[in-house]
Chains A and B, each alone.
Chain A
Amino acid sequence: MKIRVMIAVTAAKLAGYICKKMGRQGVTWAGKIALGICPDILEQLSSQVRKGIFATCGTNGKTTTNNMLCAALEAEGQKVICNHTGSNMLNGVVAAFVLAAKWNGKIDADYACIESDEASTRHIFPRIKPDYMLLTNLFRDQLDRYGEIDITMKILEEMMQKIPDMKIIVNGDDALSAYLAMDAGNPYVTYGISKPVIQSAANEIREGRFCKRCGEKLEYGFYHYSQLGDYHCPKCGFARPELNFDAEDVKVGDQLSFRVEDKHIVANYKGFYNVYNILAAYAAVRTAGFAGDHFQDMLQKFNPENGRMEQFRIMGTGVTLNLAKNPAGFNQNISAVMQDKSPKDIIIAINDNAQDGTDISWLWDVDFDLLGEESIRSITVSGIRCQDMRLRLKYVDIPSILEGDVEKAIRDRVKDGVGNLYVLVNYTALFSTRNILKKLEGEKS
Chain B
Amino acid sequence: MKITIGHLYPDLLNLYGDRGNIQCLMKRCQWRGIEAETIPFELEDEIDFSKLDIVLLGGGSDREQMLVCEKLKEIQKDFKAYVENYGVVIAICGGYQLLGNYYKTEQGTMKGLELVDLYTEQGEGRLIDNIVLQSDLFDMPIVGFENHGGRTYIKENKPLGKVLYGAGNDGKSGYEGVVYKNVIGTYLHGPLLPKNPQLADWLISHALEQKYGKKIELAPLDDSQEKEANEYVYHRFVRG
Stretch of A10-18, A66-74, A236-244, A388-396 that contacts chain B: A388-396
Given A205-B14, A210-B67, A359-B147, check contact A147 B126 (CB 8 Å).
yes
How far, in Å, is A131 (CB) from chain B's closest CB?
A: 32
Chain B residues whose CB sits within 8 angstroms of the CB of A394 once the complex forms: 225
- A388–B229 contact, CB under 8 A? yes
Chain A residues whose CB sits within 8 angstroms of the CB of B194 once the complex forms: 364, 391-392, 395
Q: Which chain B residues in 1-42 approach chain A with CB under 8 Å?
A: 11-12, 14-17, 19-20, 23-24, 27
Query: Contact residue range for chain A?
Result: 20 to 34
Q: Which residue of chain A has the shortest Cβ distance to B64 in the bound complex?
A: A210
Chain A residues whose CB sits within 8 angstroms of the CB of B145 once the complex forms: 144, 358-361
Chain B residues whose CB sits within 8 angstroms of the CB of A387 once the complex forms: 225, 228-229, 232
Given A361-B191, A365-B17, check contact A390 B229 (CB 8 Å).
yes
- B147–A391 contact, CB under 8 A? no
Q: Is A148 an interface residue (CB 8 A)?
A: yes
How far, in Å, is A243 (CB) from chain B's closest CB?
A: 27
Q: Which residue of chain B has the shortest Cβ distance to A369 in the bound complex?
A: B23
A362 and B147 CA atoms in complex are apart in Å by: 13
- A395–B17 contact, CB under 8 A? no
Q: Could you list 14 examples of A-B contacts with CB < 8 Å? A: A143-B15, A144-B147, A148-B63, A149-B61, A210-B67, A215-B67, A358-B129, A358-B130, A359-B190, A360-B145, A388-B195, A391-B225, A395-B194, A396-B23
- A209–B11 contact, CB under 8 A? yes
- A364–B17 contact, CB under 8 A? yes
Q: Is A197 an interface residue (CB 8 A)?
A: no
Given A144-B147, A209-B11, A388-B195, check contact A395 B61 (CB 8 Å).
no
Q: Is B137 an interface residue (CB 8 A)?
A: no
How far, in Å, is A384 (CB) from chain B's closest CB?
A: 9
Given A143-B15, A144-B145, A391-B195, check contact A361 B225 (CB 8 Å).
no
How many B residues, CB 8 Å from partner? 32
Q: Is A363 an interface residue (CB 8 A)?
A: yes
Q: Is B48 an interface residue (CB 8 A)?
A: no
How far, in Å, is A63 (CB) from chain B's closest CB?
A: 25
Which 4 A-B pairs rank lowest in CB-CB distance, beginning with the nearest? A364-B20, A364-B17, A361-B17, A148-B61
Chain B residues whose CB sits within 8 angstroms of the CB of A144 once the complex forms: 128, 145, 147
A390 and B223 CA atoms in complex are apart in Å by: 12
- A150–B61 contact, CB under 8 A? yes
Q: Which residue of chain A has the shortest Cβ distance to B18 in the bound complex?
A: A364
How far, in Å, is A238 (CB) from chain B's closest CB?
A: 16
Name the one of A150, A358, A359, A390 contacting B63, with C-beta atoms under 8 angstroms: A150
- B128–A148 contact, CB under 8 A? no
How far, in Å, is B114 (CB) from chain A's closest CB?
A: 25
A205 and B225 CA atoms in complex are apart in Å by: 26
- B16–A361 contact, CB under 8 A? yes
Residues of A at the B interface (CB closer than 8 Å) are 140, 143-144, 147-150, 205, 209-210, 215, 217, 358-365, 387-388, 390-392, 394-396
Chain A residues whose CB sits within 8 angstroms of the CB of B24 once the complex forms: 395
Q: Which residue of chain B has the shortest Cβ distance to A149 in the bound complex?
A: B61
Q: Which residue of chain B has the shortest Cβ distance to A148 in the bound complex?
A: B61
B128-144 vs A, Cβ < 8 Å mask (1 yes, 0 no): 11100000000000000
- B27–A395 contact, CB under 8 A? yes
A217 and B43 CA atoms in complex are apart in Å by: 10
A365 and B147 CA atoms in complex are apart in Å by: 17
A360 and B232 CA atoms in complex are apart in Å by: 14
Q: Which residue of chain A has the shortest Cβ distance to B42 in the bound complex?
A: A217
A144 and B128 CA atoms in complex are apart in Å by: 7
How far, in Å, is B238 (CB) from chain A's closest CB?
A: 16
How far, in Å, is B127 (CB) from chain A's closest CB?
A: 11
Chain A residues whose CB sits within 8 angstroms of the CB of B14 once the complex forms: 205
Q: Is B78 an interface residue (CB 8 A)?
A: no
A166 and B228 CA atoms in complex are apart in Å by: 52
B194-218 vs A, Cβ < 8 Å mask (1 yes, 0 no): 1100000000000000000000000
A28 and B145 CA atoms in complex are apart in Å by: 29
Q: Is B74 an interface residue (CB 8 A)?
A: no
How far, in Å, is A430 (CB) from chain B's closest CB?
A: 22
Chain A residues whose CB sits within 8 angstroms of the CB of B232 once the complex forms: 387
Chain A residues whose CB sits within 8 angstroms of the CB of B20 once the complex forms: 361, 363-364, 392, 395
Chain A residues whose CB sits within 8 angstroms of the CB of B63 once the complex forms: 148, 150
Apart from A140-B15, A149-B61, 17 more pairs, CB < 8 Å? A144-B147, A150-B63, A209-B12, A210-B67, A361-B16, A361-B145, A361-B190, A362-B17, A363-B17, A364-B17, A364-B19, A364-B20, A364-B23, A387-B228, A392-B194, A394-B225, A395-B23
Chain B residues whose CB sits within 8 angstroms of the CB of A358 once the complex forms: 128-130, 145
Q: Which residue of chain B has the shortest Cβ distance to A359 in the bound complex?
A: B145
How far, in Å, is A209 (CB) from chain B's closest CB?
A: 5
Q: Is B111 an interface residue (CB 8 A)?
A: no
Q: Which residue of chain A has the shortest Cβ distance to B228 in the bound complex?
A: A387
A358 and B144 CA atoms in complex are apart in Å by: 11
A433 and B14 CA atoms in complex are apart in Å by: 32
A210 and B226 CA atoms in complex are apart in Å by: 36
Chain A residues whose CB sits within 8 angstroms of the CB of B147 once the complex forms: 143-144, 359
How far, in Å, is A316 (CB) from chain B's closest CB?
A: 33
Chain B residues whose CB sits within 8 angstroms of the CB of A205 once the complex forms: 14, 19
Q: Is B189 an interface residue (CB 8 A)?
A: yes
- A391–B226 contact, CB under 8 A? yes
- B19–A365 contact, CB under 8 A? yes
Chain A residues whose CB sits within 8 angstroms of the CB of B128 once the complex forms: 144, 358-359
Chain B residues whose CB sits within 8 angstroms of the CB of A210 once the complex forms: 11-12, 64, 67
Chain A residues whose CB sits within 8 angstroms of the CB of B126 once the complex forms: 147
A392 and B63 CA atoms in complex are apart in Å by: 29
A210 and B194 CA atoms in complex are apart in Å by: 30
Q: Which residue of chain A has the shortest Cβ distance to B147 in the bound complex?
A: A144
Chain B residues whose CB sits within 8 angstroms of the CB of A388 once the complex forms: 195, 229
Q: Which residue of chain B has the shortest Cβ distance to A397 in the bound complex?
A: B27
A150 and B62 CA atoms in complex are apart in Å by: 9
Q: Which residue of chain A has the shortest Cβ distance to B222 in the bound complex?
A: A394
